[in-house]
Amino acid sequence: MAENLNKGSLVEAIAGGADLSKAQAERALNATIDAIQTTLKTGGSVSLIGFGSFSVSDRAARTGKNPRTGEAIKIPARKVPKFTAGKGLKDLVAGKKK
């Protein structure tokens, strides 16, 4: 059966897998997230071979519709975070690797 992880259960998994205290695991997770966010904020990308890549994409301005009124609205251009799964992760999820 599939399990969903939130931040707390991910910290527990890291602590158990790396033989760290929960406090140390939480600091490590927070530092990892901060490093990824800082890199993306400055326009860089983060590649974790076999897992995936985090990057920033430009989303062009476009016209959309207000779902309540059907009125056309302008949606401005903006930058959005993007994650692309690596081959190792894709294979694992597809059941090709253990």
Label residue 1 by pLDDT band (50, 70, 90): very low
**What distances in angstroms separate CA 31 from CA 16, 21, 38, 50, one per listed residue?**
18, 15, 10, 21
For residue range 15-61, what is the model confidence (pLDDT) as tens digits?
999 999 999 999 999 999 999 999 999 999 999 999 999 999 999 99
- For residue 94, give every residue at least 6 positions away whose Cβ sits within 8 Å of its Cβ, in sequence order, or none: none
Q: pTM (2 decimals)?
A: 0.81
Of 15, 37, 38, 42, nearest to 26 (Cα)?
Answer: 15
- 26 neighbors 12 (Cβ within 8 angstroms): no
Instruction: Enumerate the β-bridge partners of residue 81.
Output: 56
Q: Which two tokens stand for residue 35?
A: 């490093």
